[in-house]
Structure 1
């Protein structure tokens, strides 16, 4: 199980609030603190997250992976150690950065990601995965750098919040829509391209709804999949349905194990490598009919 993310902004904001409360006080004088009730640190979001890990660990027999979302090298990364102490079996590092500075080049942006991973790896001993975005200029090279640095898994891909325009309020707004199976395409492509190219395990994300989506991901080269939108829409029992359909399909096609099919249609094995590369691009566009 991968928990929902705890965000850098939550951790840093709470640290600032605690500092203000303890050292500046509720009024102009620090001694005024004595006239106010003690701050309930347990009510802080970051503390709740740690408590959630401890509670779940006591009732689960499967690994529990915490998720940390941020990008800077600030104090929030130190929180990774607390996640490990709380009992997390692994950590998913979800590095989210929107490069709005036109003077910041690609190499500098990549360094932000690599520095964050390096700091986390120096902080914890549990396995760390990186949830990548699909917008690097060279995703394959970044995947290799993450893997070579010590990331045990790569999650393909982070799904960014979308931007829209409210025509009534005349303002920009942020939105997020549930994924659909068609959104899985990029994860399939890069799972197929990275299979056998990096040491890290591969996890397909965004658009995993059905047993067919799981099968496609595994055949492309993914070791695992993440499923969120489908569970929010159909409930946790949907996992049982997907697994049942998966087993039925494998029996019908006479597959004995997941390992037998994994990567079977990756770039490493496929008889049609052009499907994953540009060679097929023009033919598809010219043959498509509305």
Structure 2
């Protein structure tokens, strides 16, 4: 019997737990069919950023104000105001195109952290055909006057605002640095999150020693990064009702399998697909199927969460007790 890899994420039925997360490949229409043919359960389109929306609104407001300030007689000689098709409009068109061309769920991504008129674009993305929206709360709270409680309250209110704009499922993508992740996860669920994506990768800046300028440094993830989402998914599985998606460090079938065993509904990959191409999904899927068949697992649902915190003999392996064990497990490979 064929192993059943289907899963449910955000209430959507996916043929596979392997999801192509937001990146250059999902923003390239030429890659979409390759991703679907290789077995992607869904794709997440690149983010529409709060800054893009606000900049677009500001640019249009300036243009309209300038046009309105012209003398009435002169306006009759001017052509109608025709602004270029800028970021947000192109993004909505991308969603429409993906929905039309693909037979798998299309998840739109919205990236922002502050309340404002930009949240209405959640509805625009839904109207464009997105099956669900991923709200990316990418932020570093550096203002010392803002407490952790203030930041969490602001994010929960933002989730409420976005959820109020749409009738489709909403996932919230988080950074890993919240003080009490379990409590915050429950707050976001109460605020309207249908799923949590763990985690964002923080792109820390670097310093150029020649120019003394702060410069961006983009590096792809490695499999070592999979342990952070694994830790929190294993701890959250069974304690929250919403869907759990794992992101960061998913490079092969073994990485994906570990996250499913920890309790993930889906696993998301970007770096591996950029390095190896969309067809790498087939390699990952083959590993999942072979491993499951060797151990008589019939479905992903059967194995999901079987190594979560609530299903291991000693739950403390996911808590502080494991810290002591790990520190004392190191042994030098050689002595100098």
Range of TM-score over shorter length: over 0.9
What's the TM-score once normalised by structure 2's chain length? Answer: 0.82
Residue number among 272, 276, 283 corresponding to 2:318 in the alignment:
276
Matches of 2:102 and 2:90, distance apart in 1: 18
Q: Is the 8 Å Cα contact of residues 60 and 83 (structure 2) preserved in structure 1? A: no
Contact kept, 8 Å, 1:24 with 1:30, in 2: the verdict is no
Q: Which residue of 2 aligns with 1:55?
A: 97
The residue that corresponds to 1:70 in the other structure is 112
- Using the TM superposition, give the Cα deviation of residue 261 of structure 1 relative to its aligned residue in structure 2, in angstroms: 0.9
Tell whether 2:125 aligns with 1:83.
yes
- Secondary structure of 1:226's aligned partner: strand
Gaps of 5+ in 1: none
Q: CA offsets per residue over residues 70-106 of structure 1, 9 Å max, x none?
A: 0111111011110011011100000122211111111
Question: Are the equivalent residues in 1 in contact too, given 2:246–2:266 (CA < 8 A)?
Answer: yes
**Corresponding residue for 2:70?**
29
State the partner residue of 1:153: 195
State whether residues 89 and 127 of structure 1, in contact with CA within 8 Å, keep that contact through their aligned partners in structure 2. yes
Shift in Å, 1:134: 0.5
The one-character-per-residue Cα deviations of 1:247-275 (angstroms, maximum 9, x if unpaired) are 11211222111111110110010113222
User: 1:249-264 to 2 correspondence within 5 Å?
Assistant: 249-264=291-306
Question: What is the aligned counterpart of 2:270 among 185, 205, 228?
Answer: 228
Q: Which has the higher contact order (CA 8 A, sep 6+)?
A: 2
For the aligned residues, what is the CA RMSD?
Answer: 1.6
> Aligned-pair distance for 1:287?
2.8
The number of residue pairs the alignment matches comes to 288
Residues 171 and 196 in structure 2, CA contact (< 8 A), matched pair in contact too:
yes
**Distance change >3 Å, CA 30–CA 219, structure 1 → 2:** farther
Instruction: Compute the TM-score of the two structures, normalised by the length of structure 1.
Output: 0.95
Aligned equivalents of 2:259, 2:120: Cα separation in 1: 34
Greater helix share, 1 or 2?
1
1:39 aligns with 2:97: no
1:10 to 22, 27, 52: 52
Residue 144 of structure 2 corresponds to 102
1:108-132 deviation line (CA, Å, top 9, x unaligned):
1111101110000111110000001
